[in-house]
Chains A and B, each alone.
Chain A
Amino acid sequence: MKDAVIAEAGLRHSEEVMRLSRMGAMFPSRLSFLRSLTRRLIADKSNVSRHHWDMDAEGFGTAVYSVDLGGHTYSLFAITQPLDPDMRTDRVIAEAWDSAFVLYDGLPNALEIARLSKNAPLQELGQFTQKDLCLSRANKSVRLFDQIVTSLRNGADLPMGMIQDIGYLMRTTAVYGNGKFGIADRSEIDARPGLQGPFMAEMLTVWLIRTFTHDLVEHVGGGKLPDHVKRQLGIGNSTGLGMAPFLVSHPLLLHSWMICRETALARVRVTEFGMDTAVQLIDLSRRAAQHLLEWNIADPLHHARIVKLRREWAGLTCGLTAELLMAEGALDRLLLQSVAGSEDLQELTVSWMIEPFGDLVDGLTECMANPYEPTLDAAMDCAELGSALAVHCGYATAVDFTAPHATEQFWYVSEAKLEPRIGKRHTEAGADRESPLDITRQIHSLAQDLPGHTGPIWQFLAYFPQHRLAVQRVQALADNPYSEIRDNLVDADMAPVDMLRCKLSFFGASKFDPKSQLWTRITLAQGAPLASDLAAEKARDDWWLPVSAP
């Protein structure tokens, strides 16, 4: 039976939670999808097998890995090819990559391997079938890959500092699922055990790619990496604007993710726990401190936030003892104390507090998938909609959209490989082809046109068909308070990287490394169990916030 979210009264208010700045401060938690996946792999006693390995000495060729999950076999097909450095870009506009991958339904035979070898490197231009569940590509972290190869070939010390700083051998630049470019629709697999949660096939893909990158560097270097080093090597990801629209176009799914996280927090705030859990919280607070120390990035603004967070975290957790934590209401008081600090501190505190309480919160992950989209309640009266606007949409109706900065930016899709981009409305062409992510503005516009109208909303929409989406979204807010980002996504000050961080934190990403306000690199699965850990039955669900190996 599915777990259930709790009554709204005990949750942090959506007006507080659904602000871009807070979403841009989120950390991974034990509810993150990659954590859910590895828990499932551990529970299933899944084994990863390398069925095919046809690589030359330089590491160019093909490989196939398979894993059993929930009664089905899935395979990762990998192909690597030489790449001209001038062609190596993480952007969507790239046309070639160091490696390409397909998550395949079943175990591919020789014919299928030939088909995948031909099409996977083409990515968006390839021809795919229902057997192809995810499509991905990755580029090497050239510095780290080459350095480790050199160390392995020479029998020299591994570059542990670089390994810790970079954290991955390759970074994916796209992981496509749900029917993109002709691969299988999510509806084909979303009822399968192990793949029911959000982005589970994508998470399985990246976890298997990580395994492949370990094998590849060992193959080219001609030596073995110790397991503790491999665990430090996650899989990188480079993410741009393409990820952001998903949060806007799947409001009910966003609500499900958020309310599960907020429910987990609400449960933890009032739970009683014993010495073991208290000690675990202390250990985790130290791990978080170490993680913050080891999280160093180039962007000065974001690095300043990390530096501040280090101080704040020390201030919040310094002097904590297991006995103090076990006092009645101690966690709740700590959370309230964190509110005096930055949103970074508050959100780190949330993820930290949830971490030891798997028994209390892990069941919530079953509530995080949500296939529904807002629908219109056509019977609603205009007056009732007006009330809903007043109650739920102050964040939108209060914006002065006549001010140029309120509409400064516009989201669009470029003709160039359909790369999502952002433009400046008042100085660049293209706003007439704007992507409809300006929900706040649409709700504002609805609120402007609604007064004076009476009767059922469907009649209003006959005259104002352009407001149908806004009406649906406002109606949805009543029962799904976390479904809307409560900020203006076309404002001059809007930073898309905040949306990216929110979504990526749900994936389980850490070491956020923004390269601009539109683009970030991250690390996934750093510290996660290895395939060999699963085989040896020594995999542990204890890798919240990666830190360097002891």
Chain B
Amino acid sequence: MAAGVGTLNVSSNQLKMAVLKACRGIGVPVAQAQEVAAAIAASPLALNKLLAHLAKPISSASFDFSFGVDVQNAHLLKDFSVCADAVAQGALPVILRGVAKCDVTQALAQYHGVSAEMDNGNLHVAPHQYPAQRSGRCKVDPDDWRRLGVYAALTYVPETDASRLAGAGAGLTDND
């Protein structure tokens, strides 16, 4: 996506919070969602590809630790963290089967300080060093932002009359 006319200028924290909610919205556990959010905030160009991962149902991965780490049926957003942990602990090779390299794998790899490269159709995660990353304000595609918001909205609870009156503990007018 070329940033320019028709883009939204968002703060880094705004992007981070929106990604965090979106990940939580589809069922990514909170800690992993925080890591994805920080990774995307540092690599905002990966937002578009993130949407494809958000569209995938959360799967239950199977792990084989007999030689390094071999992961089948992974959901990238949920399971990349533990792969990076394994790399950090020297449990090599770490292979995510059936996961393709994309902007999101690269963003997560940078965030965790590992590499993520394709080999024989699988994603191999290995030690790597990057220059320090700094998140900053960025431009995003308005349609990507809207679609991200749809996933984030999965964490919001529809309003009822009762919750409007009692859920926040204050009245509806304050003319005192």
- Contact surface of A with B, Cβ cutoff 8 Å: 85-86, 88-93, 129-130, 139, 141-143, 178-187, 238, 240-241, 373, 376, 378-379, 412-416, 418-423, 428-430, 433, 435-436, 456, 458-459, 461-463, 465-466, 468-469, 472, 496, 515-519
Contact = CB atoms under 8 A, between A and B. Distances in A.
Nearest to B81: A468
A421 B168 contact: yes
A435 B155 contact: yes
A63 B84 CA distance: 52
Contact of A465 (B13, B79, B134): B79
Given A412-B157, A458-B86, A465-B29, 16 more contacts: A85-B173, A91-B168, A93-B164, A182-B11, A376-B31, A378-B85, A421-B167, A433-B154, A435-B155, A458-B89, A461-B81, A468-B30, A468-B32, A468-B81, A469-B29, A516-B169
Residue among B24, B63, B81, B174 with the most chain A CB within 10 A?
B174
Nearest to A436: B30
B11 to A, nearest CB: 3
Contacts of B65: 459, 462
Contacts of B69: 462
Contacts, number: 168
A90 B137 CA distance: 30
Given A184-B11, A418-B156, A428 B163 contact: yes
A139 B174 contact: yes
A421 B172 contact: no
Interface in B21-80: 24, 29-32, 34, 61, 63, 65, 69, 78-79
A182 B88 CA distance: 35
B168 A240 contact: yes
Given A466-B29, A519-B169, A433 B156 contact: yes
Interface in B117-176: 134-137, 153-160, 162-164, 167-176
Interface residues of B, number: 49
Contact of B157 (A129, A413, A518): A413
Contacts of B153: 415
A182 B29 contact: no
B82 interface: yes
A430 B85 contact: no
Given A142-B176, A472-B31, A178 B163 contact: no
A187 B156 contact: no
A420 B31 contact: no
A425 B103 CA distance: 39
A241 B31 CA distance: 22
A92 B163 CA distance: 13
A468 B173 contact: no
Contacts of A428: 160, 162-163
